Structure 1
Amino acid sequence: MCRRLLLPLALLALAGCREQRQQLGQALSGQPPVIAGNLEGEWQLADLNGGGAVAGGSLRFGVAGSDGSVGGTAGCNRFNGGWKQDGGNLKLGPFTATKMACPPPVMDVERRVLALLEAVNSVTYTADGGAFLAARDGRKLRLRRPPAN
């Protein structure tokens, strides 16, 4: 029994960064590990804080780097800004957006999406090819790739 515990504990001690500890913990618990991913390309806004998909919401991440750009729509207006990623750390914005008026419920969702995107500080990827963008305060946006045509 003790030998079974020693190997996982030794591996956990060797895992120096938070992401490695998280992946090891998931593997030891029987959950699929978080896999590496890439934000570049097209995404749909699949879920905003557990409230469901954002109708018409999409993101497009350009090539990462010092001048990486991200743009999309949060249901009404188009927006764009910059993005930088360092492992699981992510910085989006600042954003500029068009100023079209839409029904109040749509504008409310759009306001919440843009506020969350500007507060995002991390990204994690799922085994099914999706991604979660998260802010320090616990707000999350789940992304999924659009279906192939």
Structure 2
Amino acid sequence: MRIAVLALAALVALAACKEDKPKAPIDPLSLMGREVEWVVTEVAGTPVPEGVSVTMLSPETGMIAGSSGCNRYSGRVEMQDGFLQVGALAGTRMMCPPAQMQVEQAFHSTIGTVKNLRLAGKVLEFSDATGKVVLRASR
């Protein structure tokens, strides 16, 4: 009986010494959720005007898609060296009224500067390499 108790104590001590596997860092892209459409409310510090729709969603891992104000877009997005990397976006090429085209141009110019994102309450904030928020979106 004494040997069994000692063996059990040794097993418990060994189990306590077991190294935990390091936890994988949280992928910021997971904050977007799958098939959740986010409405972009601000681009480069400027609110998106009423009647102009800029949206973003992640239809599958490593992809973003949506409306950029006038046209539909899609593209690759991934984490590289701890930073978000948005690839070239493909899209339709319709012409729209000037207000929509202006927002669309600002969106395409800004999305390429995004390096990180975080969820601040119910708002998804995309920031550049300096940490400045360049896009804001809500559900």
Instruction: Give the TM-score normalised by structure 1.
Output: 0.62
Structure 1 position 87, deviation (Å): 9.7
CA contact (8 A) 1:88 1:123 kept: no
Deviations 1:29-82 (A, max 9, x none): xxxxxxxx6112211102123321352111111333xxx211011110000001
Kindly indicate whether residue 31 of structure 2 is the aligned counterpart of residue 38 of structure 1: yes
Q: Hey, what does 1:51 align to over in structure 2? A: 46
Residue type at the aligned position of 2:59: G
Q: Is the 8 A contact 2:76 2:87 kept in 1?
A: yes
Match of 2:23?
A: none
Unaligned runs of 5+ in 2: 1-29
C-alpha RMSD of matched pairs (Å): 2.5
Cα displacement string for residues 88-108 of structure 1 (whole angstroms, at most 9, x for unaligned residues): 731122101111001122111
SS of the residue 1:58 aligns to: strand
**Percent of aligned pairs sharing the same letter:** 24
* Per-residue CA distance 1:105-137 (angstroms, 9 max, x = gap): 2111101101111121111221x2321111236
1:63 pairs with 2:54 = no
Structure possessing the higher relative contact order (Cα contacts under 8 Å, 6 or more residues apart): 2
Q: Is the 8 A contact 1:59 1:73 kept in 2?
A: yes
Report if aligned partners of 2:31, 2:118 keep a CA contact under 8 Å in 1. Answer: no
The alignment of Structure 1 onto Structure 2 pairs a total of residues equal to 107
Inter-partner Cα distance in structure 1 for 2:109 and 2:133: 10
Which structure would you say has the larger Rg?
2
